[in-house]
Structure 1
């Protein structure tokens, strides 16, 4: 159970903050938040935060674009909503117009993302710009991706979109056909009617229709299966890339930490060597001073011995003179 004194952690705010950081800063900040949640006793929050993946450069640049250019981001989201609605209504003319806008706007926004990344101190290659365009295309086609991107908290690059999947036309809607234009902008005259072919029998017509329906259904199912398999392969590839990037980021972090420790130890070693040299110099000086002191002490002892012998001689001479007494015949 969580500690009653712990402060609840807002996961959405943490996710938003983490995905606003540069990829090189992500791992350390994520681990710090996860450790803080564990210390607070919030195991669920710690698990959620620890499971966040380091964003690729393209994902980070896309999030940066949504955060730093909110007006342009909202216009792009409106374009996506309009495209999805046009697809549902099968409005061919609107789809053509919006599709043309789509390519222009995506290219412009991808280059804005590159500029913003450069301002943040992160260089972005042409291949990353292309990945940003792929992400923006997914924002247009997928409402879930659009919501994450709008918050600037897209966690990973979505699978490459194949058209507007999952957006079925509204019931009863048929594609709107735009009549071709004749030179001068006037509608072209309708083509002459083809001669009527003899009507086949009812049974033959039904069999032909059923056969055609079966062929179309089989083709559609094969296409769907291929699309599903391609999506699965893309997701597996994306997962492998993310895992490799995660491992590379963690290894880089460990290398940086060990490098810092090595630098610290090398600094301490240099200091210890300097202290050793200083101590050795002091020891050599003390040794010389000791030798000099010993020499001085030896000389002093010799001087003392000489003085002592001189004193003894004087003492003996004085005693001898005292014993002989004064000379009477003098």
Structure 2
């Protein structure tokens, strides 16, 4: 297929800032029911700036997107590598590139294929690690993967936050203190795993990037400069300040022994509960107003907390948003 049929690597964007995107999307080119044209329209309606095309074990859709996107929407080329013992997302691969999937954890081949994706500047994401079906349960070590898809929205129409998502988040949370201490923590993502109409963007990942381009978005995800939202109605900021220095999600705040003020600003979730989490587990919880807009604050030091991250939940307990950590030292 002609190279001109592939989507461009840049979109117009808003310069340096936060961008919303869904990096796990299926179309009629694998087992989805929507065309690329319908998915592009759905992404715009959901308030997204970028999506990734991730068909199962094929690159057939790579050349189908260009006629349906303008400069307003970035489409990242990818694949859902669907192996016998777990699925993973290869994001930012070359046009027409297909990553092999015919192996399982016992074969010892995963590192070779991760290196193949990293070799073209791509990102490797462990997908829905506790999915409740045989091949979806992730059996590979996370070592070598760049991120983990903790929130997968495949059943979002009737189960916005499922037990397998809760298990994936808890697993990541338990490993985070050791990973931060070793200086190589692994960010989390949220994606819709869209197969049907009405699923796209539920949830999605909000990424800080230098521009709206494949390279910049992947760099933001890799660095953990991101948080996860159930929809575009949720607006959130997490900051930590010590003296005159400050940091946002995914950044490192170096303190001089001062008290650290951690502040959350939220819009779009009525009667929400915000919980603050560090290497000691959940350390603080606050209720936000019924009107759906509020601020919560908590204080700590780098001696007390190696990092801080937050979770936002609805009154009945399912997730509305959560963040990657701010690292304190």
Greater Rg by CA: 1
Q: Which has the higher helix share?
A: 1
Q: Which has the higher strand share?
A: 2
TM-score, with length taken from structure 2:
0.21
TM-score, with length taken from structure 1:
0.21
